[in-house]
Amino acid sequence: MATTEECRAALDKLSDSMRGAEGHVRAATELDRSVSCHITDLDVTFAGRMTDGRIDVRETLEGPPRERAEIRLAMTGDDLVALVAGELNFAKAWGSGRVRLEAGLRDLFRLRKLL
């Protein structure tokens, strides 16, 4: 089972990858939205903002998100690490319910370029 530190490192790696993206993918990363990622098996939430092509994690909270972020993710720590490492296909994981992504319709259309 992935640790809180490994999940935080995976989010940092995802953020770095987003920052280096180009073209249509880069355009999708340029949202300015609140974001939360709830790690279900650890019952911890990383909360912050997606801005300037990065995910800026500002808080690590025990339990589910306290506030409703504009972009909300939920998954196990192992799935987060596997997604970022390219070992788990996001579309298949989302379709099977292993990963939950909730956002406004316009944001979902932009985010699909990332995922």
**The pLDDT of residue 92:** 93
- Per-residue pLDDT of the chain (115 residues), as tens digits, is 999 999 999 999 988 887 777 766 666 667 899 999 999 999 999 999 998 888 999 999 999 999 999 999 999 999 999 999 999 998 899 999 999 999 999 888 877 766 6
| pLDDT for 76 | 98
Q: Pairing state of beta strands 54-62 and 33-39?
A: unpaired
Report DSSP state, residue 70.
Answer: S
pLDDT number for residue 113: 66
User: How far apart are the C-alpha atoms of 34 and 50, rounded to whole Å?
Assistant: 6
Number of neighbouring beta carbons within 10 Å of residue 102: 14
What's the pTM value of the predicted model, to 2 decimals?
0.90
